Every structure is written in structure tokens, then in C-alpha cells.
Structure 1
Amino acid sequence: MRHDPFKPAKRVAGQRKDVWSIVNEAAEQGKVTPMVNMGQGFFGYNPPNFVLDAARDALSRVECNQYSPTKGRPRLKKAIADAYKPFFDYPLDPDKNVTITTGANEGMLSAFMGFIEPGDEVIVFEPFFDQYISNIEMPGGKVVYVPLHPPENGATQTTSAGDWKLNMRELEAAINDKTRMIVINSPHNPVGKVFTKDELQAIGNLCVKHNIIILSDEVYDRLYYVPFTRIGNLSPEIARLTLTVGSGGKNFYATGWRVGWLIGPEHLITYVSAAHTRICFSSVSPLQEATAVAFEQADAHGFWDQSKKEMQAKVKRFNEIWDELGLPYSDPEGGYFVLANLAKVKLPEDYEFPPHVASRPRDFKLSWFLIKEMGIAAIPPTEFFTEKNAHLVEDWLRFAVCKDDKVLDTAKERLRGLKKYIQ
């Protein structure tokens, strides 16, 4: 019997509707307009002028509108090596230690494709960026989950994102002979946790002991509000195992540019580059060139300190509404996401939710209710957990604060409508 030619592969078949589709489609059909979209982590404003000017200039140059070398444009690799040299104890060679990818996500896929064979295991912390999972499974890897434990009093009082803790005994118990890689995200999405030096040292020591590759997702590495440690800089032994992931989109308010990179020792970068070549060959030339100029000029414009200061002010500005409503939240140590706990919010018992929302945990219902009744889109974080541990965050919602202050103020005004539902 012939196979059905239209039967989809298992990796895409039978998937339930993803959170991005649910939230964005609901937002497009919301009753309250204009919608305040604090769901996806895209910026509500443009990159600074010196970055935009670099892009305009690159688009006018013939060589910047043609293929780039598969490992990235030389100018961008050098700019990244120069920018990151102060953060690493080992010298960064642009040709040996840096590779450019089509966004950080494709860079991580390239890392998995470069090292994961069918049956290999990759440890991921819950909550996780959902793209990790499919990226690991595509080359045949198995995801092993280890949860970050939320603070016990997170439903009753505001806590620090740093209070989400990793149990090292649970982590070590998850390691076996099949463990090939571990994924770390700091500053963390969606929690906002910045892993401490001691936490990273403990993780790094385990990886050295068991010879496990570390994929350190540091795309929010310029937005930290407490001391920030790079695991790849803790020791030569840990450095030889570590791939550090970065994002021009996150750094320069240009998530649509899809310019990412990986930094690491040559014996790892070589095979990430080889996989990247087979996935998409090369990345967008003019935007690579513009990102190079952005790095070259950022210090002269005082950009890094300014961006951190402005984002921290947005976090503080938005969180005033939770203090006003008496609803607890997780105060982020980095990044631009805020987790708010809405356990005190009682949804109307007769409220009708569509089947694809009614069948999901409570945070999906909270998200839907806020979209439809208040015109605010936020992400339900159970999407970033396994079903086993989803109960840990079913009363939370994730809000992206990387928006204009006027948008944040509108969101705060609309959220005051929750008062009548708070018990």
C-alpha cells in the first residue's frame, strides 16, 4: 500500500495549537481596541538612529546585498570578538571562536544539529523557551527536564526572580551516560532570573565531571540589574565545554533582523558552523554589516548603560500597577519580562472560553480574559512547562515591558479593571 504523500512528519503532526497563535489571533479579534500587546517579546520602538543609519548605508552598498561568508561577515565577527573580549579570559579569534547565525534560535538549532545524535539527551530547565524543544528533537535528541522551583510565597507576596531555585541534586540525578548537552538561559526567559556565580559554578563543575557540552543562551546579556556572570568564563575547563549564544535583535531593539551568533572554543564552533551551512548557508548580509557598525559605535553613544537604565525603568514603571492592585509578582533581575501572579483574580464562573482555551490550564483562561475584556495580551507561562509541572505557574502571566511608556501606562489603566475580580 502506498503511503499517504500528504501525511505530515511526526515532528509537526498532532501538535496542539501553540500559545503564540492563540494569543495573537485572539488579540486581532479583541473587543477592546487598540490592543496593548505585551505578549511576544518584540520591541515597541525602533533601534537608535546610529543603528538605523548603519542599516541604510549597508543597503546602498553592492557587496552588502550579496551572499555573506557562511560563518558570517568578517566585520561583524571582528566587532563581536572585540566587544566580548573584556568578558572572557581566553582570547577571542574572530575566525576561530565566533560564528554568525540567522538569529539566536537558528544558532541554537545549529548547535544541536552539530552535536546531537538520535538517542542523545539534552537537559533543559523548566520553564524553557519553547523553541529549545523542537530544536533538540529534530536531530533525534531527547529532552530531559529539570524544574526551577518558584518561591513558596510567590502567590501571596512579591519576590525576586532570583528566588526561583535549581535543585542541584535533581540536576545531577538527571545526568546519565546519554547526556550530551545542557541548556542554560541567563538572564532567564520568562522568569527574569540571573543565575548567580555559585549556581553557575555548580552547574559547570557537573558538566566538567561528566564531560557535557553547555549551551548558554545569553541573548539578554546586556539587560541585567544584578551582578551577571558568564558561565563560559568561570574556568578553562568549563570554557572548553561552553557555547555562548547572543542576539543582535535583543541587543539593538531589532528582533526582526534575525542576526545571532555563537562564541566558543574552535573545537565546538567548527561544527556549529558546519551545521549552519547546511541549514541556511548564510545570514542576511546588510543587517550583519549594520550590526557590526552598531557594536563598533555603541560605546561612543553610551548605548549599553542607557539601554539597561531605560529597561529597568520600564520594569519599575509597569510593576507599579501590581503594587497598586495588591497582586504579587516576580521582580526580574534581568531581561524585559515580568511574571505576575493572578491567583487572587476570580474569573466569572459563567464565562465562555473556546474549547482550545478551556482545555488548557488556568493561565490560558486568564490570558484570554485579559485579551477579550481588557484589551491586554500576555503570555500564559504553562506553555514553557511540561504537563507534569504546569501547575507551578497556572496562576501566573508573562508581560513584556519593552514598549513605549505610553503603552505601559495604557496597560496599567486597563489592568485597574481587575479590581472587581480580585478576592
Structure 2
Amino acid sequence: MIADPFKPAKRVAGQRQDVWSIVNEAAQASPVQPIVNMGQGFFGYNPPEFVLDAARDALSKVDCNQYSPTKGRPRLKKAIADAYSPFFGHNIDPEKEVTITTGANEGMLSAFMGFLEQGDEVIVFEPFFDQYISNIEMPGGKVVYVPLHPPKDGAMKTTSAGDWTLNMKELEAAITDRTRMIVINSPHNPIGKVFTKSELQAIGDLCVKHNIIILSDEVYDRLYYVPFTRVATLSPEVAKLTLTVGSGGKNFYCTGWRVGWLIGPEHLIKYVSAAHTRICYSSVSPLQEATAVAFEQADAHDFWEQSKAEMKGKMDRFNQIWDELGLPYSDPQGGYFVLVNLAKVRLPEDYNFPPHVANRPRDFKLSWFCIKELGVAAIPPTEFFTDANAHIVEDWLRFAVCKDDEVLERAKERLRGLKKYIQ
């Protein structure tokens, strides 16, 4: 008989409170309301009308309200293949090289489940999207961290997100005979870095040399403000090793739809599909159909270019507040997050932080203070670092600009309240 039948598994036991619940609970209890939520990366506005119309229409169809094929609806796979074939330089086979998943996150979990055995190692660049870690560890994988190094003067002046650099010698030193995969995220969350072609080529060459699978998280692939290279396009040898992750939620402003996909060679995709089948069988049928229609009609609405221009405009307008306050930031090359350095902000020495915030790095205190005193929520980025390297970003906060313009203006007005704390 099990001594304690209610004892949780190690994979979920003993975890400290996650950043999302800390920030959201603080926001709900803040005396400054309504809160300006620039924390989580969900959009503050609806998808365009042609996308919403597609969803409404899909709900009226009998087959769209029933199970979809486990690998995804044929119309969506074809729409993705048609949309991405020009970027990849060859005709993507929608039946053999595309699989649909329940959001990009489940797609990445399926990739790890499909290839990792107990003790296999996965290299992740630090900072990282926090879901990578649990997704790797669930099937028994071991995370090996390689840091991205911030610009040396990033705390003194505004720099480019591209100035965060990867030391290739450190990367190669992290490779062992147990290394099975490397995760790349470009455009990067939370930094906003777009990896250059030469950086990706160096990573790709190492993966070819050591026969390592590349999981390329490209969920922000339509929001880039400098030249953007897809790692799978570097060479046939790199392409054979690469699984590319995409997100309908990020592309069409509907993160709650949970429609994602992976593109890759058949010898890799088939095992991702097999794992996906066992994890959730199939994904949401009407929203798959709507995403297919969205892809089919996007060019006619000039959606991609408008989307990129609008987000860059939001980013530039919002970041004016940091120039005004004299606070340096990491100017993003892609995506919709900006890292801001608040080392100049002096928090009151006698400020009463709750214990679960007081024992975390300084960025948690900065986040809590901004929520409670200014009514602006932002994410402390040490959550995306190991404890050993958390000091790198303990003076920074991450803001999401994918909000209505009036919300951004309200945030800027409230953030002017930092002036009296800046030294």
C-alpha cells in the first residue's frame, strides 16, 4: 500500500510560486485600478474581422464541430504549406511535412516526447521561455543551459536586442554524447533578438557535425524589424535536422485559440505527430478551419505587412517613455516584448514586500512595486533564467506592447510616476 496516496509527483511537487500567478494576483489586488496589464503576452484587441468571420462561419459547419484528423485538418495543413513554401524554398508537402498541434507549446512538448529518452540532453539558451523547461523534463530530458550574454553597457544606455550574443565555444563545450536537441527561439522572447544568418549558420553547422535535432521556435515569425532568417533554410543538411514551430495565436492575435503547428522533414514530423496523438489526440476543429481561412485571405488584406508596421509603431511609441525617463532598454528586433533596465529606480527602503516577493530577486520587487504603486503590470525576467544567472537581469522588467494604443498611453502616463524614484 502506498504510504501517502496524495503525494504529488516530483515533476510538480515543491515548485515555488510561478511568476504568472504572482503578477496576476498582485494585479487583481492592486489599489490602482483598472490595472494596465503589460505582463503576459496576450493581445489587448481582437483579430481582424476577416479572421473572426472565418471562426463564426466554421462554427456553423457540422464537420468543424467534430473531431479533426489527429495530424490536423487538411485545409489548414495545405494553407500552412502554401504560406510557408516560398520562405522555405521548396514545396512543403502538407501531408508529410506539417502537423497541427494544440498551440505551439503542445507542439514543442510533442517534439520532446517524440524524441527524448530518460537522460537525453537538450541545450536551451538562457534566458528561455519558461515552458521549455517543464516540457523537456516531463519525458525525462535534462536541460543544459547556455547563456546569451547581454551588452556590457546595457545598464547604462539603450542598446539593440541584437547585442545579446552567443559564445559559440560555450555552446560547443555544452555538447555531449547525450545531446539530442537544441532549442532556438528567434525572434526571441523575452529579449526581442533576431538571430543573424551567421549566428544560425554556426549553430546549424554544430548540429550537423554532432547530428543534433534543432527545434526552432519561430512563433513571432511575422513580427521582425530587421532581416529574419529561418534556420531550416540554411542548407539541406540543416533542414534534415530542423523542426520549425509556428503559432496561429501569435500570427492572428488570438492566443486563446491554441492553434499551432510544426513544419519539418517527414522522418521527424511523423514522430511529433505520434506523440501529439497520445497527448491530446486532435486539436480544436473550428479554430483550425478559421486559421486556414485566415492564411488563405491574409495577403488579400495586406495583413502581414500591416501587422508588422502596427506592432513596430506600438513598440516605438511606447518606448518613448523610457527615453523621457532616461531609463535604458534593449531595443527589440522582433516580437512584441521590450526589456527595460530600472537600475536607476530606488525602491523605498522601508517598503513592505510580502515574503514570497521579498525572497525573490530585485526584479520581482520592481514588478510588485509598479503594480501596487503605479497600476502597471510587467514581468520580472529572472523567471527566464537559472538562479545562478538571475543576477544578469535583476534590474530589468519585460513589457508587452501588444495592447490598444490608449492602453499604451495610459501606461506611459502612469510610468511617469517613476520619476521621483529615479536617481
Paired letter, 2:158:
T
CA–CA separation in structure 1 for the residues paired with 2:358 and 2:411: 25
CA–CA separation in structure 2 for the residues paired with 1:91 and 1:151: 40
Could you say which residue in structure 2 is the equivalent of 1:367?
367
1:66 paired to 2:73: no
Q: How does 1:56-95 map to 2 (within 5 A)?
A: 56-95=56-95
RMSD: 0.5
Question: Residues 122-158 of structure 1, C-alpha deviation per residue, up to 9 Å, x if partnerless?
Answer: 0000000000000000000000000000100010100
Question: Residues 350-377 of structure 1, C-alpha deviation per residue, up to 9 Å, x if partnerless?
Answer: 0010000000000000000000000000
Could you say which residue in structure 2 is the equivalent of 1:8?
8
CA–CA separation in structure 1 for the residues paired with 2:151 and 2:418: 24
TM-score (structure 2 length as normaliser):
1.00
1:388 paired to 2:392: no
CA–CA separation in structure 1 for the residues paired with 2:278 and 2:188: 29
CA–CA separation in structure 2 for the residues paired with 1:347 and 1:2: 49
CA–CA separation in structure 2 for the residues paired with 1:297 and 1:265: 27
CA–CA separation in structure 2 for the residues paired with 1:265 and 1:122: 20
Paired letter, 2:410:
T
Could you say which residue in structure 2 is the equivalent of 1:48?
48
Paired letter, 1:16:
R
Q: How does 1:276-315 map to 2 (within 5 A)?
A: 276-315=276-315
1:18 paired to 2:15: no
CA–CA separation in structure 2 for the residues paired with 1:331 and 1:118: 39
CA–CA separation in structure 2 for the residues paired with 1:3 and 1:212: 42
Could you say which residue in structure 2 is the equivalent of 1:106?
106
CA–CA separation in structure 2 for the residues paired with 1:291 and 1:323: 38
SS of the counterpart of 2:306? Answer: helix
Q: How does 1:13-412 map to 2 (within 5 A)?
A: 13-412=13-412
SS of the counterpart of 2:387? Answer: coil
Paired letter, 2:69:
P
CA–CA separation in structure 2 for the residues paired with 1:249 and 1:373: 32
Following TM superposition, by how much is the alpha carbon of 1:89 offset from its aligned partner in structure 2, in angstroms? 2.4
Following TM superposition, by how much is the alpha carbon of 1:91 offset from its aligned partner in structure 2, in angstroms? 2.5
CA–CA separation in structure 2 for the residues paired with 1:301 and 1:174: 46
SS of the counterpart of 2:388? Answer: coil
Report the identity percentage.
85
CA–CA separation in structure 1 for the residues paired with 2:90 and 2:407: 43
Unaligned ranges ≥5, structure 1:
none
Paired letter, 2:85:
K
Question: Residues 262-308 of structure 1, C-alpha deviation per residue, up to 9 Å, x if partnerless?
Answer: 00000000000000000000000000000000000000000000000
CA–CA separation in structure 1 for the residues paired with 2:194 and 2:136: 24
CA–CA separation in structure 1 for the residues paired with 2:44 and 2:3: 47
Following TM superposition, by how much is the alpha carbon of 1:70 offset from its aligned partner in structure 2, in angstroms? 0.1
SS of the counterpart of 1:339? Answer: strand
SS of the counterpart of 1:10? Answer: coil
TM-score (structure 1 length as normaliser):
1.00
Instruction: Work out the number of aligned pairs and report it.
Output: 423
Unaligned ranges ≥5, structure 2:
none
